Amino acid sequence: GGFGVDFSLATDDFKSGIDLVSKKILSHGVTSFCPTLVTSPPSVYHQVLPQISIRNGGAHGAGILGAHLEGPFISKEKKGAHPEHCLRTFEAGAFQDLLATYGSLDCVRIVTLAPEMKRSSEVIRELTKQGICVSLGHSVANLSQAEEAVQHGATFITHLFNAMLPFHHRDPGIVGLLTSDKIPAGQRVFYGMISDGIHTNPAALRIAHRAHPKGLVLVTDAIAGMGLAPGRHTLGQQVVEIDGLNTYIAGTKTLSGSVATMDTCVRHFQEATGCSIETALEAASLHPAQLLGIEHQKGTLNYDSDADFLMLNDGLYVQATYIAGEEVWRQDALGM
């Protein structure tokens, strides 16, 4: 979410909330995005998902590529800011359990799950068959479990280093996928990173980038409090506190999403890694498009692609945003 709108809250005017976020993120250089729901009760998915429609961007706001469902099929040990009472496992029906929980997969583009869960392989296979990207995250999986998930079709890692086992030299866990030799030929594993200077130390960002530069996808992990003053806000079923760029579950030191905007993440990534401007921009454009299999439309300026592009100054601050060749936002003379 962002700007006071929480995508994991079922409200009657959900559509106006998603419209507001779509409009506001144009100024941060976002031309299309995946609204994300954190772990929620089935009733929330059943109410919210039918209200998300995949659509093109324009002057009304950024395009919607489909929803990212982060949970509830994740690990209790690595739940992070996800409410424990809403977590679920796959029972005998596996994929049917998932369908019953979400209600519909019509608008779903990415599902984050923990691959160590029993019966996850069949779920990964079925989701992949339906063209949905499976991401590994909020998990205590070891490397062989993660490799098996990739062999069944998983292609993404949800916010690398956060909410997973730390790298260990004898079993590097999910992080080991970045240099694994068990990835099927022709398949690339992508990984999201929250490059906000809080979630990941710049040294960890550099290690990941140097190990697997072509797989890095910048993600904001932004919550409803993005764009608002510090204080108390919601994240799905829970209350979070914002203090500067830090966001915690109220009364704890558990990080709960981010309030960094995408343009901030690009600038921080470029500064932290010393990479070229092209590399920094591709992590927020080309790589996510490749992950979703839409690189013929998005993420490049090739002939016949969608002509979504930005005007940036030398400091990588957004001056104007264009969608399908049309100017949809411009910085005015006052710098607003």
pLDDT in tens, 150-201: 999 999 999 999 999 999 999 999 999 999 999 999 999 999 999 999 999 9
Per-residue pLDDT, 245: 85
Q: How far apart are CA 155 and CA 171, in angstroms?
A: 20
Any idea what DSSP says for residue 84?
Answer: G
Task: Detail the residues annotated as belonging to a binding site for Zn(2+).
Answer: 70, 138, 159
Please identify every residue annotated as catalytic.
221
Give the full edge-to-edge strand order of the sheet including 309-312: 309-312, 318-323, 326-330
16-25: average pLDDT: 98
In the chain, where are the structural domains located? Answer: 13-329
Tell me which CATH code domain 13-329 carries.
Answer: 3.20.20.140
Please provide the average confidence, as pLDDT, over all residues in the chain.
96
pLDDT tens-digit map of 139-159: 999 999 999 999 999 999 999
Name the residue with higher pLDDT: 92 or 63: 63
Task: Detail the residues annotated as belonging to a binding site for substrate.
Answer: 81, 162-163, 170, 199, 255-257
Does residue 335 register a pLDDT over 70? no
**Which residue carries 């040990």 as its tokens?**
77
Q: How far apart are CA 191 and CA 257, in angstroms?
A: 17
Pairing of strands 326-330, 216-218: unpaired
Does residue 35 register a pLDDT over 60? yes
**Which residue carries 């009760």 as its tokens?**
41
Share of the chain above pLDDT 90, in %: 96
Q: How far apart are the first and last CA of the chain?
A: 22
Q: How far apart are CA 159 and CA 111, in angstroms?
A: 13
Per-residue pLDDT, 334: 62
Where does the pLDDT of residue 12 fall: very low under 50, low under 70, confident under 90, or very high at 90 and above?
Answer: confident
pTM of the model: 0.96
Alpha-carbon dihedral of residues 220, 224, 227, 229, nearest 10 degrees?
A: -130
